[in-house]
Amino acid sequence: MNKLKQALENQKFVFTTEIYPPKGTDTTKFLRMAQIVKRSVTAVNVTDNQRALVKLSSIAGCLLLRKQGIEPVYQITTRDRNRIAIQSELMGAYALGIRNILAITGDHTLLGDCPEAKPVYDLDSVQLLYLISKLNSGFDINEHPLQGKTDFFYGAVVNPEASDLEPELIKFEKKIKCGAQFFQTQIIWDIDKFKKFMKYASKFNVKILAGIIIISSSKVINLMNKKVPGIKIPDSIIRRIEKSSDPVKEGVKIASEQIKELQGVCDGAHIITVGKEDLTPQVIEMSR
């Protein structure tokens, strides 16, 4: 059974979120955060060395979530593994009970905390989706038959607010052609723009979860604007957070307002918290 797939097919509005594995082996906080979000969301993404920072592996994080009864979305990038390693890892993930994949290329090694590493990028995100479609049909990437195929529910990322939108949308369509079944978008700010995107995206048989960030401080704003490629938090939001006497409360309010506006527009929301997972249930509660 795949809870995420079922929910996206049957429910009006589905919530996912993401949590970050620790740098190190102490998973106490990771599991605490997982417990906090457990009842509010359908599935939880586990990031794959996000921003090219060295972290506990995504596959181990997914397994830890499964042990807690939480359905994971295994994020896998092409930055650190060639196609042999990726296929091997995906077969392993499936055998361990992981069913959802988010396929991404991944932020460049030069932006992380181990810039000396050799970047791999044997595949890009579109090709990774193609590879997963092969495994799902019972073959490896070179058409060799598998002993037991995978049956992943797999998705990708799209940025409806990309500065170069048309190339982004052409790539979005390629991802769909390579089998992407759902999309979690980059952070959404401009709801009108997003509605336009949804009008276009509804032509395709894919589920779209809008990326919503909970901003809890100006520190988060700085981090996102400076360190995360392709992210730009608008000035109007920055002003609201900076002027507020309770930035956390304001951040929660902004996120829940956005989600309210998205109900009926897309298939759900993917909540990004930048380490403040404990705010997620509140945001979801307030948006109902």
Partner 1 sequence: MVITSQKKHEEILKYLSSSKKIFIVGCGACATVCKTGGEEEVWQMEEFLSKNNKEITGDVVIDEVCHLLLTRRAFREHKEEIEKADTVLVMACGTGIQAVVASTSKKVYPVLDTLFIGVTKHIYEFQEWCNTCGECLLSETNGICPIARCPKHMLNGPCGGVVDGKCEIDPELDCPWILIYKRNKESLKKIHLPRDNSKRARPGILSLRGVR
178 binds partner 1 (CB under 8 A): yes
3-state SS assignment for residue 159: coil
Comparing CB distances to partner 1, the nearer of 99 and 175 is 175
Report the site for partner 1 in 86-105 (rule: CB under 8 A): 104-105
Kindly state the smallest distance separating residue 103's Cβ from partner 1, in Å.
12
Vertex 220: Cα angle to 101 and 31 (nearest 5): 50
Residues touching partner 1: how many (CB under 8 A)? 37
> Amino acid letter at 271?
I
Residue found under tokens 């417990």: 35
The token duo for 19 is: 């949590």
143 binds partner 1 (CB under 8 A): no
Kindly state the smallest distance separating residue 272's Cβ from partner 1, in Å.
14
Report the site for partner 1 in 208-237 (rule: CB under 8 A): 229-230, 232
3-state SS assignment for residue 154: strand
Closest C-alpha to 209, from 16, 40, 76: 16
Closest C-alpha to 283, from 258, 252, 261: 252
174 binds partner 1 (CB under 8 A): yes
Can you give the C-alpha Rg of the chain in angstroms? Answer: 18
Comparing CB distances to partner 1, the nearer of 228 and 254 is 228
**Which residue ranges make up the site for partner 1 (CB under 8 A)?**
79, 83, 104-105, 107-108, 110-111, 119, 121-127, 130-131, 141, 157, 159, 162-164, 166-168, 170-171, 173-174, 177-178, 186, 229-230, 232
